[in-house]
């Protein structure tokens, strides 16, 4: 879902029931509290979808030899500012979440390998020596 899909029902409710009596400033103020949570939900959903597509059993990939590559610029509403400590913390959280999600569904254990594309991407490689116990 996009941010518009979250905001639109409230806008329609304002028009239909309140006849646009709720000022836009108040609406913006209300959404300022939940905007970051909405962006985080959209980001997590996007990451999960990308991982699930990569590990789709219908594709019959060889997980023992195939790496998973992810670029930050693919994430909706994500700004990659290397000088912003908040963004850098989000990048660390995203990296850890990707590793956690991959290892939850993969038949082999994946580790973070390296950053690519001048810090704009992440590469995860399977560790062929360590099998994931939950799938044995």
User: Domain residue spans in the chain?
Assistant: 3-135
Contacts of 133 (CB under 8 A, 6+ apart): none
pLDDT digit string (tens) for the chain, length 136 residues: 666 676 777 777 777 776 667 777 877 787 788 887 888 888 888 889 988 888 877 766 655 567 888 888 888 777 666 556 666 778 888 888 899 998 888 878 888 888 888 888 889 988 764 444 444 4
CA 40/CA 76 separation, integer angstroms: 10
Q: How far is CA 88 from CA 13, 47, 57, 113, in A?
A: 37, 17, 33, 18
- Residue 24 and residue 14: Cα distance in Å, rounded? 10
* Cα Rg of the chain, angstroms: 19
pTM flag (> 0.75)? no
Classified as helix, coil or strand, 135 is helix
């Amino acid at each position: 879902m996009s941010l518009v899909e979250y905001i639109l029902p409230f806008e329609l409710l304002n028009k239909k029931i309140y006849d646009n009596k709720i000022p836009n400033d108040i609406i913006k103020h209300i959404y300022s509290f939940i905007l970051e949570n909405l962006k985080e939900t959209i980001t997590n959903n996007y990451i999960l979808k990308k991982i699930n597509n990569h590990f789709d059993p219908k594709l019959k990939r060889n997980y023992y030899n195939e790496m998973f590559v992810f670029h930050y610029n693919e994430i909706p509403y994500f700004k990659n500012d290397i000088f912003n400590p908040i963004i850098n913390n989000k990048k660390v959280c995203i990296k850890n979440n990707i590793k956690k999600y991959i290892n939850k569904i993969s038949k082999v254990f994946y580790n973070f390998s390296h950053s690519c594309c001048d810090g704009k991407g992440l590469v995860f490689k399977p560790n062929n020596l360590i099998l994931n116990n939950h799938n044995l």
